[in-house]
Amino acid sequence: MGRYIALCMLAVVQLSSQYLLPGDVTPFHYDLRFAYDIDPATNFSFFGVADILLTAKKNTPKIVLHAEDFLVDDEKVSVTGSKESPKVTGVKLNDTFNFLTISLDRDLEENENYTLTIPFYGNLVKGLDGAYISSYENKKSKEIEYLISTQFEAISARKGFPCFDEPMYKATFTINIAHHKDYNAVSNMPLMSSSGTNALEDYWPWETIGKKFKKSQSDFVWDQFSKSVPMSTYLVAYVISKFSYVESPPELSDTKFRIWARNDAIDQTSYAAHIGPKVLSHFEKWFNVSFPLPKQDMFAIPDFAAGAMENWGLITYRETALLYDKDESSFLNKERVAEVVAHELAHQWFGNLVTMKWWSDLWLNEGFATFVASVGVNAVEKTWKADVGYGLENILAVLGLDALESSHPVSVPLEDPKKISEIFDTISYRKGSSVIRMMLMFLGEDVFRKALHNYLTKYSYSNAEQDDLWAELTAVNRQYGGLARNVTVKEVMDTWTTQTGYPLLTVHRDYSDRSLTITQKRYLSLGSDRSDASWWVPLSVLCEGERAPPGVQWLARGEGGAAEHRFEHGARPDQWVLFNYNMIAPYRVNYDERNWKLLTAALNSDSFTDIPVEGRVQLLSDAFELAWNNKLDYGTTMLLASYLKRENEYLPLYTGLSALAKIENVLKRTPDFGAFQKFMRRLLTGIYQKSGGLAAKKILNGDDLNSVKLQVTTSAWACSVKVGGCEENAEQMFRRWMDSDNPDENNPIPVDLRRTVYCVSLRRGGVREWRFALARRRASNVAAARDALLHALACSRDVWVLAQYLEWAVTDGSEIRRQDAGSVIAAVTRSEVGFYIARDFIYNRIEDIYNAFRGQDRRIGGIMKTLLGQFTTEKELDEFLSWKEKNEKYLSSSKIAVAQGIENARVNINWLKKNKQLVVDKLREYSV
């Protein structure tokens, strides 16, 4: 056995190394010079020269680096050294791994420095990664304007220039960009000087460039940017555009902030201009590490695959993630802007200053930025309680996905760079964030922040892996007396980051004394787990009547597995005991029947707030999930959920409704859906009316985020389950909008309720309403408003309209931007009528979908997961599986997502077989 494992391990290492650069030479500085022509008439031509300063780590006759999507002028490639300069004997590109191999007539000598010069040229494409072309309509001139933006994470810097495109190879950069005088260029560092002299003359004389560009040299300017700090290639960035900017008030930060947008949208930058510098200043204090660059530019890009990208000193965003219009953007849009801005600014330390060694530790970047975003938002928007809200929503998302066998560990072994895009997912971001929040809670904020400061200082401008972080946290923690049971941070955290999944704790109380037993086992949505995985579980326990709950206790790895583990507690036999009352970690808890009854009675009493908000969230989430999996009686769950009628907090209500949405999803195409709707009307009518609903035709308490979310969520649900008057009120408001003299200027529908009102009106209306919404979307200049209409257009029940909408999603130059195509297909797939049309469209048009999503591979995985998530019959799944076999090549970058989708479909099918009748009976019983 031992020998077999060793051989397998060896094979993996050899396999993975073929994807990696050999490391014989390492870069320490890049001098990059580009000349771009932003003109469709010349097919967006460009020329470039890269001078890369290298150190030979050992004697080698070749240099291997990355290049993709441009042509290299082989004849002009050269290597110069301080002593002798070797001659280049060959330049060869390997398309599989994008390796550019430069062969030399003699060895480079160990520890000597050399300059590698590569002239290159090509044409930019309208993709969403590398250096790419984006476009937008100038609202005044009605003309199409173009710009160049970059998206180099994870492995697309090689599409912009020849480079050592792995995060380990940090170097400094000087960048010089030639562009037409009508444009401006911005890069990571401040602009140093501008000139009319061709900086590429030695390799690309203007005679050559001018012939291609068909323009005179006097039309162009060469912008030279200051030398950067050492950074990874994926953080290099530049934007060449006709945008304008707003400067942030200088008193908010020592760093100069500029927010850039289309000239027509510059009035939507004010919110970001204020919170950006405030968040940055807060992080400097929180980490006790200064921001190392003199400026921070933030750009709203019209075409953008992700939400935003943390390029150092030049952060790029989708318009919806940076721009906020007080009349057209909802409170939730505002919250989104704050969260994304804080997330990207957190990356300036986590990811940019200290970078993971390889993408398998991507979670160190993304988990930290996701967690620290809540710290940043909390500092600038104190009333939102972002720390609790984000923390709980992240854990709930993790509990759903990580219960699948096809989930993956937080720190995931990655051999193939083409699989990197797949791990930019809920596990890396949200589970990463949840285990970091857990760590802060069990170590205490002082220890946590001191250790982070040490980690960021020690590894500044270099690379680290998770063990480096654990070492710093353990060291500071030991100075303060260490953790209980003398456990190290690494011992605890490895159980959460290197294992897939999370535990279910089963708690049995002994009511004759104050003790209980606990067992732990990995929780799975399908069947039982056969593995013996176990965790170091932090236990936060609250007993009824306790003023101050005791500190964290531990269930050790290996405890509660084969044998039950016994604990003392402080509750009398008639008092409840609640585990994970503050949701310190992502795990589920099941109790004996008597303790469930005590907890349910408490929730259904006037003193239900004795159980903290996080505890109510935990109970709802666990009760629904355990019943779903036959580990708890649905009667207990329904009784517990009936307390929601008295709930005033958004988070527990959101949790209960999300759990009920899972039941809705599997019943919505069955004859018993009416019973579900009746139960929901009974549950919701009172809460809907209390929160303001649609009858008020206004937001009742617009300054309180909790209150707005309650009103918005209950209104959307009330209309979907046909609470009396809800849909009629929505249609009334929409009709008033259609009848107004100037609908593009005057929209009488309260901005936070628009998504619901639009969807209801398009669902109940016909083609006239749909075309009206489409026209308003075309005319709108606010990305958030366009986004609300984008989703509403998928609510139509006209088959041909939905078929046309899907067609637009894969058609160049249609109503649908490339960045939004995935959302459109997913939204149609989720609707009752749209599901059938979208399913056929996906099956028949996968090649077109695949071609439309170049540069945003994750979107195909998302579409597949959405489709599979709707499946409720074996026939549907079998059909998919046989289709999948024939179309594997289109799903090669979505393997994890497809596996998770298939498992979700099996979970649905299984549930309907086992539980449908039982649940329908309970729904009827509780609807009376």
Q: Which amino acid is residue 154, in one-letter code?
A: A
Q: How far apart are CA 454 and CA 459, in angstroms?
A: 9
For CA atoms 106, 109, 114, 119, the dihedral sign is positive
- 3-class DSSP state of 186: strand
CB 271 within 8 A of CB 289: no
Angle at which helix 386-401 crosses helix 331-347, to 10 degrees, equals: 80
Q: How far apart are CA 780 and CA 256, in angstroms?
A: 31
416 vs 274, 305, 420, 719, CA distance in Å?
41, 22, 7, 47
**Side chain identity at residue 826, one-letter code:** A
Contact (Cβ atoms closer than 8 angstroms) between residue 55 and residue 111: yes
Helices (H), 743-831: 754-764, 767-779, 783-792, 799-809, 821-830
First-to-last C-alpha distance (Å) of the chain: 61
311 assigned ligand-binding residue: yes
Q: Tokens for 474?
A: 């353990």
Sheet strand arrangement including 244-247: 244-247, 256-261, 295-301, 314-318, 308-309
What Cα–Cα distance (Å) separates residue 673 from each residue in 60, 681, 717, 843?
Answer: 70, 12, 15, 27
Q: Which residue has the tokens 């309680």?
A: 385
Could you say which of 328, 335, 339, 344 is catalytic?
Answer: 344
User: Is residue 225 within 8 Å of residue 190, measured between CB atoms?
Assistant: yes
Q: Encoding tokens for residue 195?
A: 């000139």
Distance CA 149, CA 147 (A): 7
Contact 144, 84 (CB under 8 A): no
Torsion of CA 247, 252, 254, 258, to 10 degrees: -20
Cβ pair 542, 614 in contact under 8 A: no
Query: What are the beta bridge partners of residue 509?
Result: 516
CA distance 155 to 369: 20
Contact by Cβ (8 Å): 65, 163 = yes
> Is 344 an active-site residue?
yes
Of 532, 502, 473, the residue nearest 409 (C-alpha): 502
Residue 269 has phi, psi (to 5 degrees) of -100, -5
- State the alpha helices, DSSP H only, in 77-235: 206-213
307 annotated as belonging to a binding site for a ligand: yes
Residue 153 annotated as lining a ligand binding site:
yes
Whole-angstrom distance, CA of residue 689 vs CA of residue 361: 48
- Is 308 marked as a binding-site residue? yes
3-state secondary structure of 907: helix
Q: Which two tokens stand for residue 124?
A: 């930019």
What b/e sequence results for 248-275 when a residue is b if at least 16 CB atoms lie within 10 Å of its CB, and e otherwise?
Answer: beeebbebebbbbbbeebbebbbbbbbb
DSSP state letter for 512: T
**In whole angstroms, what separates CA 706 from the centre of its chain?**
23
Tell me how crowded residue 871 is: count the other CB atoms within 10 A of its CB: 23
Give residues with Cβ within 8 angstroms of 913, minimum separation 6: none
Of 618, 626, 558, the C-alpha closest to 592 is 626
* Residues contacting 316, CB < 8 A, separation 6+: 149, 150, 151, 237, 239, 298, 299, 301, 304, 308, 309
In angstroms, rounded to a whole number, what is the distance separating the alpha carbons of residues 515 and 533? Answer: 25
**Helix intervals (H) in 381-488:** 386-401, 426, 432-443, 445-458, 466-479
Reported residue count of the chain is 928
- Known binding residues for substrate are 153, 307-311, 858
Q: Annotated catalytic sites, by residue?
A: 344
Residue list, annotated binding site: 153, 307-311, 343, 347, 366, 858
| Residue numbering of the annotated binding site for Zn(2+) | 343, 347, 366
